[in-house]
């Protein structure tokens, strides 16, 4: 598998996703709420980040547990990725990722993964830490995707993609879902400062967790394939778009994830 391509597409996907999460509201509100002050966010009861449940019907298989795009780096070694904890202490990976969204000033480690949170939802999580073993949290951000509906199976997809040495599946399953909530927690002053900058208009208090609804949920349309034949364990190829179902795999948008 082409490591450089996996790394590049991962960064592109995360940059695109987090750009969509950020609020463009520059309101001068001084509310002490982590959600209020931003026109895009309101308080909700929860935005789950706990792995629970199973998504079924994906290529007649199922997905459960927690996915991580960085597991391949951990398997191959030498990249500062600990698969037992999902902790990343590789300064190059962290700085490249943080170049687009920023990071807390005291962050030395980061965890990024994707828990399946129910039979119809999943989350994307980023947690910054002040140490390289990811034991002391600085700030966390969760994006919740809900209302996941499994649709028709498709076939005849390309088995090769320009720039990749991997062989892709010719089959996949259509899914749709909504980006509908976020969860934020600042554990340090540096973490709070980063969240206030990243999510313009929010004002999280250190030590308090907030769950916020997105006032205009974004619908995603995806193609998903999963199998257990890889020597790395269960793999998932996930291609998505907000304009309609993708017609094929592409190097620009796909992500390869490995289940824990």
Residue 71 placed within a domain: yes
The HSE-up count of residue 60 (CA atoms within 13 Å, CB side) is 2
> φ and ψ at 192, to 5 degrees?
-65, -40
User: What span, in angstroms and rounded, lies between the C-alpha atoms of 139 and 185?
Assistant: 6
Question: Structure tokens of 54?
Answer: 């199973």
87-100 confidence digits (pLDDT tens): 999 888 888 877 77
User: What span, in angstroms and rounded, lies between the C-alpha atoms of 41 and 221?
Assistant: 23
Residue 79 placed within a domain: yes
Find where tokens 């459960």 sit: 64
User: What span, in angstroms and rounded, lies between the C-alpha atoms of 170 and 152?
Assistant: 14
38-78 confidence digits (pLDDT tens): 445 566 667 889 999 999 999 889 999 998 888 877 887 77
For the ranges 22-26, 88-92, 201-205, the lowest mean pLDDT is seen at 22-26
Residue 249 placed within a domain: yes
User: What span, in angstroms and rounded, lies between the C-alpha atoms of 256 and 233?
Assistant: 12
pLDDT of residue 26: 34
pLDDT of residue 214: 82
Alpha-helical runs (H) found in the chain:
3-21, 71-76, 91-101, 189-198
Residue 260 placed within a domain: no
Q: Give the count of domains, the chain.
A: 1
Full residue range of the structural domain in which residue 223 is found: 3-255
User: What span, in angstroms and rounded, lies between the C-alpha atoms of 57 and 59?
Assistant: 6
Mean pLDDT within 137-147:
93
Residue 102 placed within a domain: yes
User: What span, in angstroms and rounded, lies between the C-alpha atoms of 193 and 73?
Assistant: 30
Residue 159 placed within a domain: yes
225-237 confidence digits (pLDDT tens): 998 877 777 888 8
Q: How far is CA 23 from the centre of its chain?
A: 17
Residue 162 placed within a domain: yes
Residue 86 placed within a domain: yes
The answer to whether the CB of 145 falls within 8 A of the CB of 117 is: no
Nearest to 209 by CA among 183, 181, 182, 180: 183
**pLDDT band at 5; cut points 50, 70, 90:** very low
Q: Round the average pLDDT of the chain to a whole number and report it.
A: 80
């Amino acid at each position: 598998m082409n490591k450089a391509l996996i790394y590049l597409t991962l960064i592109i996907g995360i940059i695109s996703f987090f750009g969509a999460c950020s609020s463009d509201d520059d309101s001068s509100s001084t509310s002490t709420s982590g959600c209020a002050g931003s026109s895009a966010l309101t308080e909700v009861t929860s935005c789950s980040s706990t792995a629970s449940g199973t998504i079924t019907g994906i290529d007649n298989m199922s997905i459960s547990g927690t996915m991580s795009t960085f597991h391949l780096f951990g398997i191959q070694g030498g990249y500062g990725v600990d698969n037992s904890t999902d902790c990343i202490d590789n300064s190059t990976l962290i700085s490249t990722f943080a170049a687009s969204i920023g990071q807390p000033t005291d962050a030395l480690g980061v965890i990024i993964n994707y828990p399946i949170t129910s039979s119809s939802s999943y989350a994307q999580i980023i947690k910054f830490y002040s140490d390289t073993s990811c034991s002391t949290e600085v700030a966390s951000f969760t994006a919740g995707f809900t209302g996941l509906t499994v649709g028709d199976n498709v076939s005849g997809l390309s088995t090769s993609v320009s720039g990749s040495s991997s062989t892709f599946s010719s089959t996949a399953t259509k899914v749709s879902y909504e980006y509908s909530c976020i969860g934020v927690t600042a554990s340090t002053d540096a973490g709070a400062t980063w969240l206030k900058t990243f999510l313009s208009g929010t004002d999280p208090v250190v030590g308090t967790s907030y769950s916020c609804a997105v006032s205009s949920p974004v619908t995603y349309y995806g193609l998903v394939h999963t199998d257990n034949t890889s020597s790395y364990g269960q793999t998932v190829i996930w291609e998505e778009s907000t304009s309609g179902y993708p017609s094929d795999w592409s190097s620009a948008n796909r992500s390869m994830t490995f289940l824990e």
